[in-house]
Amino acid sequence: MTMQVHGIHHVTAIAGDPQANVDFYTGILGLRLVKLTVNYDDPQTYHVYYGDETGHPGTILTFFPWPGAPRGRAGTGQVAVTAFAIPDGSLGFWADRLKAHKVEYTGPSRRFDEEVIDLQDPDGLHLELVADGRAPESSPRPDGPVPGKDAIRRFQGVTMAVEGYERTAGLLTATLGMREVGAKGNRFRYTVGNAGAPVFVDLLCLPSGPRGRVAVGTVHHIAWRTPDDAAQRAWREQIARLGFDVTPIIDRTYFHSIYFREPGGVLFEIATDPPGFAADEPAEALGRRLVLPSWLESARAELAHALPAIRGPEGQRFPS
């Protein structure tokens, strides 16, 4: 049986000021604050999740905010660009919106057969908005600041910067089930996912580029989708058989995860679609309070004192 990941589950990056992060992604880009919790491996740090109205896998961008931490360095061994799909015909709306909010951008420009706007978030994280005419496969915020007809739909793809692309490309195609669909200069494109809305993965080959350093304004890891626990166990066996150091399966409450580093240095996760972000609170209440896993509830008061105060998009105060 040929195995294949089902697309991007989420991308996790490092932020600086959590308030600036919330204001940008909910107020300017119009994403929903799906979940505010803590980094399970460092509970005195927030873990912030943004996505569509229901937190559907394939729409989720997450952050660990580290106030006062130094900026990272973009370079090889990183996800260099995270691209969101927007509806065809919305490039003008987004250019006007970014200009109105004093967000610098370039484009639209053409790449392969796409029209692309390039921008950065307040910490310098490189993002793209890509016009896409396919079905949305997501649910925009009904009362959000961006009209539904123009709203971000899902991930369009990512660009990974690597020193040499061949071994990474081999993993993407032979192991993760992706297909090569194009190349231009030092950019090699692969695609994965269902026929309705596949995502792209571009490998940008930079043999003389500096090595990236993960800190504020850079991506920490990318997670690929798998449908259930049985498939994930099969993935772990396969990846270990290939000689990669892969973690045990880890319970992240909203999905189960394994992690390993691909040959070019990018940290990969394979995450299950279930149980989803409504596992511990109703879907209509997502993002309205600080949610802690059961083993940290006894430390809520201590964590509330340690975490920085922020205001949510609906005026709620965190931690709460």
| Domain 8-318: CATH architecture, name and number where available | Roll (3.10)
Instruction: Provide the 10 A C-beta neighbour count for residue 242.
Output: 12
The single residue listed with the structure tokens 């961006």 is: 146
If you ran DSSP here, which 8-state letter would residue 23 be given? Answer: I
Sequence ranges of the domains in the chain: 8-318
Q: Which residues contact 232 (CB under 8 A, 6 or more apart)?
A: 226, 249, 256, 258, 270, 272
CA angle 260, 264, 267 (to 5 degrees): 30
Q: Give residue 210's region: left, alpha or beta (phi > 0; psi -120 to 50).
A: beta
Per-residue pLDDT of the chain (320 residues; tens, 9 = 90+): 478 999 999 999 999 999 999 999 999 999 999 999 999 999 999 999 999 999 999 999 999 999 999 999 999 999 999 999 999 999 999 999 999 999 999 999 999 999 999 999 999 999 999 999 876 667 778 888 999 999 999 999 999 999 999 999 999 999 999 999 999 999 999 999 865 678 999 999 999 999 999 999 999 999 999 999 999 999 999 999 999 999 999 999 999 999 999 999 999 999 999 999 999 999 999 999 999 999 999 999 999 999 999 999 989 999 97
Q: pTM of the entire structure?
A: 0.96
Answer whether 65's CB lies under 8 Å from 75's CB.
no
DSSP 8-state secondary structure symbol assigned to residue 24: I
